[in-house]
Amino acid sequence: MPPDAFTADGDVTSTVEINSSTANGPSLANSDYFGGSVANIGDLDGDGVNDLAVDADGDGAGGSNRGAVNILYMVGISPVNAPTSLTASVNSDVQIVLQWTASTTLGTCSLISMSVQRKDESGMATIATTSNTSPPYTDTTVVTSQTYGYQVASVNEDGVGSYSNIVTATPTAPTTTLGGCRGVEAKAIVIQMDLEIIIFKECIR
């Protein structure tokens, strides 16, 4: 059980079942009634994680229905390390695309999701927690000419791991070149008024 399995307000943040199929778990038989009582007995092995005493009052290993107390040495959940080599680029749709190298150390758990944070004029904030743990991630909510910073982190059962390096990108509107100005450059000026788009052509001399 992770040390933060219960939050300050008493909510359960995660649940792990312990039974005879659990790695290093107890050897159980039918009608052992394992788990009728559970006690926190402190950190017996000094690894920083509290251990448990769990009864099995129907255990017959020492004689018919004599019962037993199982001492479970619990292992803490390790955080996942940070993704590396984060990059940000602007695609043809004027969206920012993030690429990274996945975390190499998942702790004692599995990779669940990715946390993506973005920094703009309001500061750094989480914009997505995606179940897709592999890159890329595309930010489709950017505004042109605004500079954004990004960092990503892997998430396992212990929570959000360390964040990656921070990268920045600035999406810019594509330049449209129009002909018909007799050898001089043409510039497109697009004005959106209500739902109507009007395109003016201005010759630059």
Both 142 and 111 in one domain: the answer is yes
Both 72 and 9 in one domain: the answer is yes
Last residue in a domain, options 49, 76, 103: 76
Q: How many other CB atoms are there within 10 angstroms of residue 53's CB atom? A: 14
Does residue 40 carry a pLDDT above 50?
yes
Both 25 and 62 in one domain: the answer is yes
End-to-end CA distance of the chain: 73
Domain count, the chain: 3
Both 121 and 58 in one domain: the answer is no
Both 71 and 133 in one domain: the answer is no
Both 96 and 164 in one domain: the answer is yes
* SS percent in the chain: helix, strand, coil, step 5: 0, 40, 60
Both 61 and 4 in one domain: the answer is yes
Q: Is the pTM of this model over 0.95?
A: no
Residue 163: the pLDDT is: 95
3-state SS, one letter per residue, for 122-141: CEEEEEEEECCCCCCEEECC
Q: Which two tokens stand for residue 172?
A: 């810019």
Residue 198: the pLDDT is: 45
CA distance 195 to 67: 77
Both 154 and 191 in one domain: the answer is no
Tokens 């982190």 locate to: 153
Average pLDDT over residues 99-110: 82
Instruction: Give residue 11's identity as a one-letter amino acid code.
Output: D
- Range picked from 27-31, 93-97, 155-159 for highest mean pLDDT: 93-97
Average pLDDT over residues 125-132: 92
Both 99 and 54 in one domain: the answer is no
Does residue 49 carry a pLDDT above 70?
yes
Last residue in a domain, options 76, 102, 125: 76
Residue 166: the pLDDT is: 97
Does residue 194 carry a pLDDT above 70?
no
What is the span of the domain harbouring residue 163?
Answer: 84-169
Q: Which residue has the higher pLDDT, 161 or 105?
A: 161
CA distance 94 to 25: 53
- Sign of the dihedral through C-alpha 122, 124, 125, 129: positive
Average pLDDT over residues 116-126: 93
Q: How many other CB atoms are there within 10 angstroms of residue 160's CB atom? A: 17
Last residue in a domain, options 60, 76, 92: 76
CATH of the domain at 119: 2.60.40.10
Strand partners, 94: none
Q: Which two tokens stand for residue 112?
A: 């669940």
Both 164 and 180 in one domain: the answer is no
pLDDT classification of 189: cutoffs 50, 70, 90: very low
The number of C-alpha atoms within 13 Å of 11 and in the hemisphere containing its C-beta is: 3
Both 108 and 35 in one domain: the answer is no
Does residue 195 carry a pLDDT above 80?
no
CA distance 138 to 99: 9
User: What percent of the chain lies above the pLDDT cut of 70?
Assistant: 73
Both 34 and 104 in one domain: the answer is no
Q: Which residue has the higher pLDDT, 27 or 39?
A: 39
pLDDT classification of 200: cutoffs 50, 70, 90: very low
CA distance 94 to 171: 6
